[in-house]
Structure 1
Amino acid sequence: MDDWMAQNLHSLSEEDPVSLPYVHILLQTHSEQVSGNIAMSCSLLVPCPDRLMWESWRSSSFVTFSEHQEQRKQQVLRTYYLQVPSFAVGHDMYDYLHQFGDIKEVQLLPAVHDHNDAVSYLVEFATEAAATEFFQSASLPAEQRAVPMKSRFLRWTPMGRKHGMFAQTQTMQVLSQRKEKIPKQNHVSLSAEIQAYYEKVRLKDLDFRLSYLVCDQMEAALRACVLPFGSSVNGFGKQDCDLDMFLSVAQMGPLSKVPELTFLCKPGLTSARMQKQRYLELLGDLLISLVPGCMQVQRILRAKVPIVRFQHLFAKKDCDVSMDQVGPLMTELLWLLGEMDPRVRPLVFCIRKWAREVKVTSPVPGRWISNFQLTLLVIHYLQVVRPVILPSLRTLEALGGPDDIQVTSDGLECRYVRDLSIVTPSTNSSPVEDLLTGFFAYFHSFDFKHKGLSIRYAESVPKTYHQGVLYIENPLEPQLNASPNVVLEEVVRFQEQCRAALWKLENVNRTLASLMEPLEVEELGYKPYGLVDVSKIFHEEEPKSTNSTNQLQPKPLLSASARVPPSKMSSATSEPEPKKKASGKKSSVSNRIAT
């Protein structure tokens, strides 16, 4: 029976040799004495969920980041934010919109508390012509105190119409309040839990629409190019994340010859940083006095990267506007790396969630590891794992062509490939839970003292003391450290928690909920970093017990000769001074500090 089964499995691999990495084969033999016969049970070949997801991922047509942005921009041209007095006029609103053309989709947005019972919808027309006709029919408000501003944020007030409830149809989707919780699933693998969590908290289509709609409003007010970047568009952002926008006043694109015809422009300031600060200062004034929905505008111009921060009332987003050209390029790079393999983003989401729960990261910037730095750690691990899942940046640069070269106004040149259809896919078929375990095993013993991480070369590189405690080579600017803020204590904390997570995956139930539970490192058999015994600082011994006379005395922290100052060492060793009679009880630590 064993020879027959092995022969069939061998023939299966010869007929379809690609199937072996794609399936999980479980052979379980057990002998049972049933009427003198030996029964053998063999489970069927079960397709691996991660491999099926990988197959559907690679079979779908690839879209570059530029094409993705262009599709979103075209979608914005057919989309409007429409505010109505109440939910009761929804049916009348639908009839009113239909007179301009077919409606592709209507989505209900969360309520804006500053407008009483007002309800907001996101309306997308089927054609751009219908959307243009709808926009041209709008007028400025009749209020004399209203600041005139035309944008895609509109208000509709029914005039002499019979109110009717908006029935739930296929063209309307209600957006409920979303909370970040781990989905409860029974009898599923850890990989399935990670995938379910990723699908729950990742950005949805509505989030992308609102981001590009806010950028379109900014472009209408500034008459300049405004593009979203960062976690809101690179695929690594969660729901309700901040919206980072890039204000472009200079063209950034492929290398070209010096143009013969140019515009006459006013000379700018001698310092590029001061010029950006001046632009952003004027932007803050425009947001305060002109653009509707922008509230609590703050100008943070003395930061390393000057920004203007505000809250968008209608989109319910915290927004940052900057003129740093590195941000959009880094966004595209992370988007490309996330598109190379369907396991990259779920793994990053899981590790970010774990780091937040065990206090490795914090929503407030500081001396600890940030989400961006944690993402670079995951990318580095996926570059060094065998077989390789993500290629090095040098490989992507070698595959890039002349059309892939982009140069910023600061002279930063990026030439990595944009079309991933020419990149050879990875042969690694490990499930996400195995990659998660490998991540913890790799970094809990990593020598951060003598080595750094290189995304460009996909390897660990030697580092010097001046390169920081945690050295992660900036992918776009190799001369810079992407983690200069991290201190030694946080690196030790990260490695301790990696060890604790690895212990839980090997000794506790392999579930996402158990992984997220904080585990005190004392349970692993060693003290955490940074805790000091106060009694050792002041050389204070424990009081003797009156019940036991044979109790062992604790050893002093230093020997008697070591506690003597060097200047008195000779006299102390040759002829010790006579002991003085104690005048009272031994003072406590607090009394000695006070004196």
Structure 2
Amino acid sequence: MFPSSSIVGFAPFLPPPRCARGNTVTAHHALPLPFPLPALSPPPPQLQLPAESHFNMRNKSFRGVPPNALPRFPSNPHCDWTPAVGTPPLAPGGPPLTMTRKRRNDEHSLYDVKRQRFGSPGIYGRTPQVVSPLPVAQSAPPKPPIEGCRHPPGIHKPKQTGGTLVLRRELCPSIPEDPLILAGDKLSQQILALFQACQQQNDDLEKKERCRAQLQKEIRALFPHSTVYLAGSTLNGFGSRSSDADLCLVIKDGSVDQRTDAVYILSLIRKLLYRLSYIERPQLIRAKVPILKFRDKVSGVEFDLNVNNIVGIRNTFLLRTYAYIESRVRPIILVIKKWARYRGINDASRGTLSSYSLVLMVLHYLQTLPEPVIPCLQKDYPECFSVSMDIHLVPEGPKGIPPFISKNQSTLGDLFLGFLKYYAKEFNWDKLMISVREADALPKPNCREWKNKFICVEEPFDRSNTARAVHEKVKFDAIKAEFTESLRLLQLKKDLNAILPVRATIQER
């Protein structure tokens, strides 16, 4: 799909000097980095892209086997499992929707649910099984021993083959994939219809993966032992059809100075991207974590590339486990993101909430209900999400986690209303911070990063404030006002269109 590209003859770039007032990249002076940079060499012969893109997500058991000799979705005996009883339906008494494969029609009706696929996790998964719900009084199964999250003997650090995608059953084999059942109330039906129309589809993810695989080949001409990972909403289960794709370039174990070394590395890659015919508009953004933005002409997808932002890979798989541990999590989060974007409070570059902060806010709310919808994974299974786990083993961490059966029978509509009410009237913004790691509202730490901040949302791994972009009172007041006004309108009309135009949002995807 991608035209062949070559950087033969592309002169190597030396590290820039460390300037007193900036990070200007100059190609005429040398200053050693804390790790060696490779000499530029011609790229390896071009490989067939389809083989790379379709099979680079395979686990270690397929290494060394020619890709073309494998079936598209080979079976893994050690991952086979029998689906357990799933989460309760969104509303009792609703008819189950069987999973059948239909040709997508972009002009389908808003409520033509027969033509939509419910509960599909993307290319990682299989067709879900229709599971009969248990009675409400059924208690959750006991948690397995923590050692169940340990990696089996003989598993060592895998080779950096570039594979970041894993099959759904390989990620959380013990968590069943239950189809969603339509609730009877109008608001829940609207939320579910919007989710099904806007959620990221298999072909959307495959386009992003093909570009990732091709970019990795090109970047390895500069950094032979590097790996490019997909991360963020593309992989965590909360992406929509219009979502950008986040990429993380890992070039060494450990941290990289984001103010100097990461900027230099991204500047080298930017010069490389200018020579690739299928990439356009590469732009280096010097932020706290600098990123290289560019667009893939073939798929039309916008990409953000960072260097060694390891925490982004860890939280991707934590959020992905939350996304599939309970069937109501993905629909409610995707629709809340759409609502926040439409109401103008979902843009960190403009001083409002990032999508990541919004996701953590929703998860925190679902964790802290009197009857929680989801558990606290980091407290219940700390070794599955350990910050000391080798980054290449992070995708295997959630394998030992069992299904979670919630006693909370709230519909999607009830949960959306409850979310708005919690942050409009109940949460104490002045004194508390939001913590998914502890499933609790904790007192704000008395330090510079948290003190006098309007919104405090704890990052589950590095414990920074993900909502630090909200640093103006006028923006904080606007965010609170949107929660309050949307709650009032939704309670009054019980119609999602009162706060978010459903049809127009579906057309935008």
Q: Same fold (TM over 0.5)?
A: yes
1:317 maps onto 2:271 in alignment: no
Following superposition, the deviation at residue 23 of structure 1 comes to 9.3
For 2:340, give the aligned amino acid. Answer: A
Q: Report the Cα offset of residue 320 of structure 1.
A: 1.7
Whether 2:361 is the aligned partner of 1:377: answer yes
Change (3 A) 1:282 1:491: same
Out of 344, 363, 366, the position equivalent to 1:359 is 344
Alignment of 1:235-250 (within 5 A): 235-250=237-252
Give the Cα separation in 2 of the matches to 1:232 and 1:306: 19
For the structure 1 residues 69 and 369, does the alpha-carbon distance in structure 2 shift closer, same or farther, using more than 3 Å as the test?
A: same
Question: Which residue is equivalent to 1:504?
Answer: 489
Alignment of 1:195-344 (within 5 A): 195-223=192-220, 224-250=226-252, 273-289=259-275, 291-300=276-285, 302-323=286-307, 324-344=309-329
Q: How does 1:179-194 map to 2 (within 5 A)?
A: 189-194=186-191
Per-residue deviation, 1:369: 1.6
Q: Once the 2 structures are TM-superposed, how far is the Cα of residue 503 of structure 1 from its aligned partner?
A: 2.1
Partner SS for 2:350: coil
Q: Name stretches of at least 5 consecutive residues in structure 2 with no aligned partner.
A: 1-84, 100-117, 120-127, 134-148, 150-157, 171-181, 221-225, 503-509
- What TM-score does the superposition give when structure 1 sets the normalisation length? 0.51
**1:360 counterpart SS class:** coil
Match among 426, 449, 459 for residue 406 of structure 2: 426
Q: Percent identity?
A: 24
Gap change, CA 1:271 and 1:513, over 3 Å in 2? closer
The answer (yes or no) to whether the contact 2:337–2:355 under 8 Å persists in 1 is yes
Deviations 1:408-448 (A, max 9, x none): 69xxx989951264254322221111111111121111210
Q: Distance in 1 between matches of 2:199 and 2:297?
A: 22
Q: Is the 8 A contact 2:457 2:465 kept in 1?
A: yes
Amino acid at match of 2:270: G
* Distance (Å, rounded) in 1 between the aligned partners of 2:288 and 2:271: 21
Within 5 A, what are the aligned runs for 1:94-113? none
Find 2:384's aligned residue among 381, 392, 400.
Answer: 400
The residue that corresponds to 1:69 in the other structure is 165
Q: 1:218 is matched by which residue type in structure 2?
A: L
Instruction: Give the AA of the match of 2:294.
Output: F
Does the 8 A contact of 2:376 with 2:436 survive in 1?
Answer: yes
CA distance in 2 between counterparts of 1:273 and 1:217 reads: 27
2:346 aligned with 1:349: no
Q: For 1:485, which of 435, 458, 469 is the aligned residue?
A: 469
Residue of 430, 437, 453 corresponding to 1:449? 430
The Cα of 1:216 is off from its aligned counterpart by: 0.9
1:270/1:321 Cα in 2 relative to 1: closer, same or farther (>3 Å)? closer
The code of the aligned residue for 1:284 comes to R
Residues in 2 aligned to 1:294 and 1:359: alpha-carbon distance in whole angstroms: 30
**In structure 2, C-alpha distance between the alignment counterparts of 1:309 and 1:500, rounded to whole Å:** 35
Distance 1:390 1:475 in 2: 16
Contact 1:393 1:457 in 2 (8 A): no
Kindly report which structure 2 residues correspond to 1:459-538, keeping only aligned pairs within 5 A, or say none. Answer: 459-463=440-444, 464=446, 466=451, 468-478=453-463, 480-486=464-470, 487-508=472-493, 510-516=494-500
Q: 1:443 to 1:420 in 2, by over 3 A?
A: farther
Contact 1:369–1:490 under 8 Å retained in 2: no
Pairwise CA distance, 1:49: 6.5
The residue identity in structure 1 corresponding to 2:200 is L
SS of the residue corresponding to residue 400 of structure 1 reads: helix
Matches of 1:467 and 1:213 in 2, distance apart? 44
Shift of 1:321: 1.4
Write the distance in 1 (CA, Å) between the matches of 2:237 and 2:189. Answer: 19
Q: Which amino acid in the other structure matches residue 206 of structure 1?
A: D
**1:361 Cα offset (Å):** 2.6
Q: State the Cα distance separating 1:367 from its structure 2 match.
A: 1.3
Between Structure 1 and Structure 2, the one with more strand by share is 1
Q: Which amino acid aligns with 2:271?
A: D
Q: SS at 2:304's partner residue?
A: strand
User: Secondary structure of the residue that 1:422 maps to in structure 2?
Assistant: coil
- Taking the aligned partners of 1:49 and 1:222, their CA distance within structure 2 comes to 47
**Quick one: structure 1 residues 311 and 70, their matched pair in 2 at CA, closer, same or farther if it must change by over 3 Å?**
same
Checking the alignment, whether the CA contact within 8 Å between 1:455 and 1:475 is kept in structure 2 is: yes
Instruction: Report the AA paired with residue 94 of structure 2.
Output: P
Kindly tell me: are residues 405 and 24 of structure 1, through their superposed partners in 2, closer, same or farther at Cα, counting changes over 3 Å? same
Which deviations, in whole Å up to 9, do the C-alpha atoms of 1:361-416 show, x marking residues without a partner? 34x712112222111110110010121112224324436399x952469xxx9899
Change in CA separation of 1:378 and 1:209 when aligned onto 2, cut-off 3 Å: same
Q: What amino acid is aligned across from residue 252 of structure 2 in structure 1?
A: A
Number of aligned residue pairs: give it.
338
C-alpha distance in structure 1 between counterparts of 2:205 and 2:96, whole Å: 28
Contact 1:234-1:334 within 8 A present in 2 as well: yes
What whole-Å deviation, never above 9, does each CA across 1:466-493 have from its counterpart, x for those lacking one? 1511111111112x21111213333332
Task: Say if 1:396 and 1:417, in contact at 8 Å, map to a contact too.
Answer: no
Q: Is the 8 A contact 1:308 1:321 kept in 2?
A: yes
Alpha-carbon distance in 2 for matches of 1:517, 1:389? 27
2:374 to 383, 390, 396: 390
Is the CA contact 1:470–1:491 (under 8 Å) kept in the aligned structure 2?
yes
> Are the structure 2 counterparts of residues 407 and 433 from structure 1 closer, same or farther at C-alpha, using a change threshold of 3 Å?
same
Which has the greater radius of gyration?
1
The Cα shift of 1:200 comes to 0.6
Report the Cα distance in structure 2 between the residues aligned to 1:270 and 1:391, rounded to whole angstroms: 33
Is the alpha carbon distance of 1:427 and 1:230 closer, same or farther for their aligned partners in structure 2, counting shifts above 3 Å?
same
Higher mean C-alpha displacement, 232-241 vs 434-443: 232-241
Deviation of 1:198 (Å) = 0.5
State the SS of the aligned residue for 2:249: strand
The answer to whether residue 416 in structure 2 is matched with residue 436 in structure 1 is yes
Partner Cα distance (1:359, 1:401) in 2 = 33
Q: For 1:235 and 1:210, how far apart are their aligned partners in 2?
A: 16
Higher relative contact order (CA 8 A, sep 6+): 2
Counterpart in the other structure of 2:9: none
